[in-house]
Amino acid sequence: QTTAATALDVNMTRYHVVVSERLLKTDLQHGGYKQTLLGFPFKLGIYPRDGKVFVNDAQVNSSNILCGSGVIHGLSSVLQINRNRCDKKTTEKVMGPCGSCLFRQSKICPNDTIPDKSARLRKCIFRQNLDGDFLLSVGCIATCIQKNV
């Protein structure tokens, strides 16, 4: 098992949220695995033990606190992120949007990607609106890296 993150960062918070289910304590009694907001490889293990319910190694202390978008359960400790599968991490190069080389947009890569610093910007042709007329202009496009699990 691989563990990661020691502070309550965004990923740690996402690991504490079960996807698309409104689970009451009675739903947790049977055990099983539930997918978190981190995705398929990061599931929570729910285990009944000695008449109590545990999520991974944390005991459910308080439960069924209803809120607008789900149910909150109090745990005895902060869950450490466990990767439940041995999926291979891969990267894929994708192209960002074509835009002006001089007046770059703040976001040169699509969501969930980062710029590839080892690659140079490529030339491209883009259409821009100038006082109601559309002009074809030479622009720049970035190579971006997308991480896949």
CATH of the domain at 59: 2.30.180.10
* Whole-number pLDDT of residue 99: 87
Indicate if the pLDDT at residue 6 is higher than 80.
no
Per-state percent for the chain, helix, strand, coil, to nearest 5 = 5, 50, 45
Give the residue-averaged pLDDT of 53-71.
88
Residue 21 lies in domain: 3-82
**Of 82, 111, 126, the domain-final residue:** 82
Whether residues 112 and 44 share a domain: the answer is no
User: How sure is the predictor about 76, in pLDDT bands with cuts at 50, 70 and 90?
Assistant: very high
Q: Kindly report the pTM of this predicted structure.
A: 0.50
* Whole-number pLDDT of residue 84: 66
Helices (H) and strands (E) in the chain, counts: 2, 12
Q: HEC states along 65-95? A: EEECCEEEEEECCCCCEECCCCCCCEEEEEE
Q: Report the range of poorest mean pLDDT among 8-12, 15-19, 134-138.
A: 8-12
How many domains, in total, are found in the chain? 2
Q: Which residues make beta-bridge pairs with 6?
A: none
Whether residues 59 and 125 share a domain: the answer is no
- Measured in degrees and rounded to the nearest 5, phi and psi for residue 10 equal -60, -45
Whether residues 78 and 7 share a domain: the answer is yes
Whether residues 38 and 14 share a domain: the answer is yes
**Of 82, 111, 138, the domain-final residue:** 82
* Highest mean pLDDT pick, 9-23, 31-45, 114-128: 114-128
Indicate if the pLDDT at residue 35 is higher than 60.
yes
**Of 82, 107, 133, the domain-final residue:** 82
Give the residue-averaged pLDDT of 85-93.
73
In the chain, what is the greatest distance between 2 CA atoms, to the nearest angstrom? 74
* Whole-number pLDDT of residue 128: 84
Whether residues 108 and 125 share a domain: the answer is yes
Whether residues 67 and 43 share a domain: the answer is yes
Whether residues 71 and 12 share a domain: the answer is yes
* Whole-number pLDDT of residue 143: 93
Indicate if the pLDDT at residue 135 is higher than 50.
yes
